[in-house]
Structure 1
Amino acid sequence: MTFQVPIIDISAFVGEGGAEDRAAVARAIDAACSTVGFMQIVGHGVPPGVLDEFAAALDGFFGLELEVKKRYRVPPPINRGYSPPKSESLSLSLGVEQASRMNDFFEAFNIGVAVSDHPGLALSAVEYAENVWPAELPEFRDPVRAYFAEAGRVARTLAGAFAQALELPAGYFEPFIDHSQDVLRMNNYALPPGTVDLDGELTGMGEHTDYGILTVLWADQVAGLQVLGADGIWHDVAPADGALLVNLGDLMARWTNERWLSTLHRVKPPVVDGTIRRRRSAAYFCDGNADALIETLPSCIGEGSKYEPVTVAEHLRVKLAGSRYLQPNSNATREAARVLAAQQPQ
């Protein structure tokens, strides 16, 4: 069976789609989430101009000198600001040790939902930290915030479609994401000449599953993203024209008792003529309310739940301690075993 990430038009949920159209989309989502854990969505309604201005904003920030960007590093446990190349190891979020811990050569900049976005709630200043913005680029904030809003809208649209796909009441997930601690991570995969040895074993971003409920990914149509298929082989994936990539996180796998998949993926560097070809991406993580309790949906328990209940905050804290603070996660044995068994691309 050929590996394929299905393309799904979600316009029936974005606009005024009829019941039959929405039911067809829900069935397609269920099939994708049950077999691949990834999908490409079109008909999402994000204006091209918003995407163009957002991409230009990324170019502006990542084009700054490294020492300037490092001014916007934020110490742990705050998940905001700048991460320089080779400062993180995503595989440690699964407890998997690589030959070198510091081999994820991407750089990133994070923003997220802040305490000030929900003035009526008593939220943690750690999970809902205020954002930092580069003073050198006053034009950076508005296009980034505009895309953040659009990606959040898409994530909530998908949450509504997910409820129908799982035969849950309409709006089922809304109480779990009405103050979701969402994060937008903007990534840049390129390094100046001489900073790494191009030996074929470089890792742009190590093997990992995403941590939360779902991820909405904008990415260049450049090789690099690889998804682990059911065949145990890493498969190359690039977005189709106009598509956003969507994948599920660990919390959705927990909710559905693995009826739906939180699929392992990684980024390998596209090396052309001895040079790393630049690749940009931006992952919007819809992670859920920090205080939400995630436990197996009644319709998915079957012969018993594979997971104990956990709050969103507890789950994310352990995951981030692995990737950003280099403390191996000992609670991800199911996913780690899949990484270790994975074959190299054929």
Structure 2
Amino acid sequence: MSRHDPRSGFEVPVVDISAYTGSGGAEERAEVARRMDKACETVGFVQIVGHRVPEGVLAGLAAAVDSFFALPLAVKKAYRVEGNRGYSPPKSESLSLSLGLESASRMNDFFEAFNVGTEARSFPELALSEEDYGLNVWPEIAGFRGRVEAYFEHAARVARTLTTVFADALDLPGDYFESLTDHSIDVLRMNNYALPEGTVTLDGELTGMGEHTDFGLVTVLWADQVAGLQVLGRDGDWHDVAPIDNALLINLGDLTARLTNDRWMSTLHRVKPPIVEGTIQRRRSVAFFHDGNVDATIATLPSHLDADGGLAYEPILVRDHVHAKLAGSRQGKANTAAVREAARVLAAGARVTS
């Protein structure tokens, strides 16, 4: 089963991970791992069902997102802090710069976001710095923190389940990813694409969120069933993707692509919000980024050294990779290290929107 675009033949595979979240046997898990391997190699995006995130938790998350973004802009800006936490107002970021791609008008992505995540003090036994993680700020909204933390816990469980599937798919020891993720930088980003009337100009082409790849190992995405998310296929075209009923979208990040020497794809994606009669249709999404340990070194797996004509990635520290990507998207500094990712945008003839 897959999510099919009849116009192009583009498909986002659907994988049921119940064998890993329930009591599946070795044969059932092997089939899930096989299907995941194929999806990661051909698309890099997957619709997962069988994740066992309760409907009540998802409903609570949606209510929390609504309650925050309904606040007046001045109130939301009070939660703007340094680092990858708190509130990001519209046009304060440009995701294409995380690839080193210059846009005609910088910091022009018109989504707004609110971030929370793990903190260094979440791991008191380790000498970690909050500069690598960030301190959370919580809005004074009844029920907000509890609802968000409830979903965060489930999203983290799903992400770790997926890395177990990945280990099996790559014929690695079942606990391979534990040493890379036992104090992972995990960030939950709540995005809102519906802005009050008059805050954007509807002339020309708009950028909801610019072309980018995700930074880490795997992203777990809850989103409205509304058009807007587009992924770059191997055919060089952008394809619309929306979650099917009861599914979460997942996609691989740069670090997993590095592990597999690009056999598994860190797929480029963007958000191009639909405009109906001059009005931007509302779209919400919540992304859980499972980025890996700040002090872990990611090197191409020995089994994949020849996966790209023998050209392997240089080993990289997670801290250095994440800092370079964030400096692009949030500080306006083009990331000159994202050579392969940027080349895919340019080779496909993708337009960097302004």
Q: Following TM superposition, by how much is the alpha carbon of 1:240 offset from its aligned partner in structure 2, in angstroms?
A: 0.4
Q: In the alignment, does 2:176 pair up with 1:172? A: yes
Alignment partner, residue 132 of structure 1: 137
Q: How far apart in 2 are the matches of 1:223 and 1:23?
A: 33
Match 2:209 to one of 181, 202, 205: 205
| Aligned residue number for residue 43 of structure 1 | 50
Residues 296 and 305, structure 1, Cα contact 8 Å, conserved in 2 = no
Give the match for residue 320 of structure 1. 326
Residue type at the aligned position of 2:206: L
Amino acid at match of 2:25: G
**What do the CA deviations read for 1:280-305 (whole angstroms, capped 9, x no partner)?**
00110000000001001111112634
- Unmatched 5+ residue regions in structure 2? 1-7
Which of the residues 16, 26, 34 maps onto 2:33? 26
Aligned match of 1:58: 65
Q: What are the residue-to-residue correspondences of 1:176-255 with 2, within 5 Å?
A: 176-255=180-259
Return the alpha-carbon distance in structure 1 between the equivalents of residues 202 and 312 of structure 2: 41
User: 1:126-178: CA deviations, max 9, x gaps?
Assistant: 1222210012x132100000000000000000000000000111111111101
2:317 equivalent in structure 1:
311
Give the structure 2 partner of residue 155 of structure 1. 159
In the aligned structure 2, how far is the partner of 1:138 from the partner of 1:70? 19
Among 294, 318, 321, which residue is 1:290 paired with? 294
Q: CA deviation at 1:342?
A: 2.7
> Which residue number in structure 1 is paired with residue 103 of structure 2?
98
Task: Indicate the residue corresponding to 1:146 in structure 2.
Answer: 150
The answer on whether the counterparts of 1:57 and 1:143 sit within 8 Å (CA) in structure 2 is yes
Runs of 4+ in structure 1 deviating by more than 4 angstroms, as ranges, are none
Would the alpha carbon gap of residues 344 and 89 (structure 1) be closer, same or farther in structure 2, given more than 3 Å must change? closer
State the aligned residue count.
Answer: 342
Distance 2:191 2:143 in 1: 18
Partner of 2:3: none
Q: What's 2:339 paired with?
A: 333
Q: For residues 293-324 of structure 1, give each alpha carbon's deviation from its aligned partner in whole angstroms, at most 9, with x where no partner exists.
A: 10011111126342110111110000000001
**Uncovered stretches (5+) of structure 1, i.e. residues with no partner:** none
Paired with 1:19 and 1:223, the residues of 2 have a C-alpha distance of 37
8 Å CA contact retained: 2:188, 2:286: yes
Letter in structure 2 aligned against 1:109:
F
- Counterpart of 1:11, as a letter, is S
* TM-score normalised according to structure 2 size: 0.95
Deviation, structure 1 residue 261: 0.4
Percent same amino acid among aligned pairs?
A: 68
